[in-house]
Amino acid sequence: MSRIKVLIVDDSAFMRKVISNILSGSPDIEVLGTAKNGQEAIEKITLLRPDVVTMDIEMPVLNGLQALGFIMSECPTRVIMLTGAESDQGDLTMTAFQYGAVDFIQKPSGNISLDMEKIRDDLIRKITAAARVEVRKLGFIEEKVVKKEKTVYPARTGARKIIIIGSSTGGPRALNHIIPLLPSNLQVPVLIVQHMPAGFTKSLADRLDSQSMLRVREAADGDIIQIGSVFVAPGDFHMIVKQQKIDGEIKEVIGLTKGEKVQGVRPSVDVLLGSAVKIYGQDSIGIILTGMGSDGTCGIRKLKQAGGKVIAEDESTCVVYGMPRSVIEQKLADYILPVHEIARIITEIA
C-alpha cells in the first residue's frame, strides 16, 4: 500500500516544521511539501496532487477558509483544518465543514503550539481516515436560515420516546441533512453526541438551530428534556439522562459529567445511550451516523435488548464508515439508510 501524501499549510515556519516532523515519523505518511499561505497552498495542490492537506485557518494573503472554498470548487481535495484553541474558532470550523473540509484538529495551545506532540496520534489517525474518504462526498453544504416561531413545549413527565443520535467524523454534514428536516410538531426530544472538543459544539448547535424548525441548543446540566427540543452534548462532557423530582413531579433531565473518556472520547455515545435506555427502554430510538471507531455499538446493543429501534447510516453516504459499520456488522440495525432518508424514517417511527 502506498503512503499517504500530505501537504502541510501553515503561516508559521515553526509549525510547518513541527507538523512535518510528526507526520514524517509515521511509516504510512509522506510529507510532499509545505505552504505558508492559502495562495501557495492552491498552487502546490494543483502541482503536487496530495491525498490529504492539513490547513491552518488564520494566514496572510489568502486564509484557510478562502483557500478551502477555492480548492473544493476547482480541485477537490481532502482537507483537515487546523484551528487554534480559542473557542471563537467554532464558527470558523463550522464554515469549514460547510465548504467541504473532512475534519478538523484543534491545536493544543493556540496558533503557535509548542506541545503539538500531545495530538500526534489524533492527527495521524485523522489523516489516515481522511485518505480513505471519497472526495465526491465533500460537496458544499447549502444552508437556509429558517424563520419561524419556535414552540417550547411543557416538560413531559414519565418515560416517553427519545431519539439518541451519535456521530463523529463527517457528523456536522450528516446532521445538517437530518435535523433541519424534522417537523416542528415532532413529539420526541432529540439528544445528539457529536465528537468535538469544548468550544465547538455550541457553534454546531447554533448553526443547526438557525436552519431547523425545532429548537436546537448546546445542553446544560439540569436541562429538562422537552419535546420539540434538540440537545447537543457539550464538548469534553459526557451527557446522560437522569430522573429528578421537580415541583413535585419526576421529570427527565440532562446531566453532564467529567467521567473518564470512553474509547478515547468525551462525550461518548455509549455513555448517553446507556443512561437513556435505563429510563426509556423500548421507547428509545438510536441513530448512528458517520464516524471513526465504534463508539455507540455497546449502547446500541443495550437499546436493542430493551426493544428499541436502531437506524444506521448506509455506507454510500458516510464520510467515514466506521461507527455505522460496527453496528451493522453486529446485526443491530433495524434500518440501514442513506443520510437523506433518515429524517423521514425518524418522523414515521417517532
- Annotated active-site residue 195? The verdict is yes
Residue 118 sits in a domain whose CATH number is: 3.40.50.2300
Q: Which residues contact 322 (CB under 8 A, 6 or more apart)?
A: 129, 168, 169, 290, 291, 292, 293, 294
Pair (200, 340) in one structural domain: yes
Pair (213, 92) in one structural domain: no
Containing domain of residue 299, as a range?
162-349
* Total structural domains within the chain: 2
Q: Say if 33 falls within a structural domain.
A: yes
Question: What residues does 30 pair with on adjacent strands?
Answer: 5
Q: Say if 204 falls within a structural domain.
A: yes
User: What pLDDT is recorded for position 111?
Assistant: 75
Which member of 113, 167, 168, 203 is catalytic? 168
What are the DSSP calls for 104-122, one per residue?
EEE-BTBSS-TTGGGGHHH
Q: Which residues contact 176 (CB under 8 A, 6 or more apart)?
A: 141, 143, 207, 208, 211
Residues 93 and 95: their CA atoms lie apart, in Å, by 5
Alpha helices for the chain (secondary structure H): 13-24, 38-48, 64-74, 89-99, 120-130, 171-178, 201-211, 269-280, 297-305, 323-329, 339-349
Q: Say if 144 falls within a structural domain.
A: no
Which member of 209, 295, 314, 326 is catalytic? 295
Pair (167, 126) in one structural domain: no
Q: What is the pLDDT along the chain (350 residues), one digit of tens a residue?
A: 699 999 999 999 999 999 999 999 999 999 999 999 999 999 999 999 999 999 999 999 999 999 999 999 999 999 999 987 565 678 889 999 999 999 999 888 777 777 888 999 999 999 999 999 999 999 888 877 766 565 555 544 444 899 999 999 999 999 999 999 999 999 999 999 999 988 899 999 999 999 999 999 999 999 999 998 999 999 999 999 999 998 899 999 999 999 999 999 999 999 999 999 999 999 999 999 999 999 999 999 999 999 999 999 999 999 999 999 999 999 999 999 999 999 999 999 98
Q: Are the beta carbons of 70 and 42 closer than 8 angstroms?
A: yes
Residue 191 sits in a domain whose CATH number is: 3.40.50.180
Which member of 113, 195, 238, 326 is catalytic? 195
Q: Say if 38 falls within a structural domain.
A: yes
pTM of the prediction?
0.93
Pair (91, 174) in one structural domain: no
Pair (94, 203) in one structural domain: no
Q: Are the beta carbons of 117 and 15 closer than 8 angstroms?
A: no
Grid coordinates belonging to 18: 513541527
Q: Which residues contact 30 (CB under 8 A, 6 or more apart)?
A: 3, 4, 5, 6
Pair (197, 339) in one structural domain: yes
| 87, 103, 138 - which closes a domain | 138
Q: Say if 148 falls within a structural domain.
A: no
Pair (101, 186) in one structural domain: no
pLDDT digits (tens, 9 = 90+) for 246-255: 889 999 999 9
Q: Say if 322 falls within a structural domain.
A: yes
Pair (212, 345) in one structural domain: yes
Pair (132, 233) in one structural domain: no
Q: Say if 157 falls within a structural domain.
A: no
Pair (199, 68) in one structural domain: no
- Annotated active-site residue 168? The verdict is yes
- Annotated active-site residue 295? The verdict is yes
Grid coordinates belonging to 101: 473540509
Q: Say if 145 falls within a structural domain.
A: no
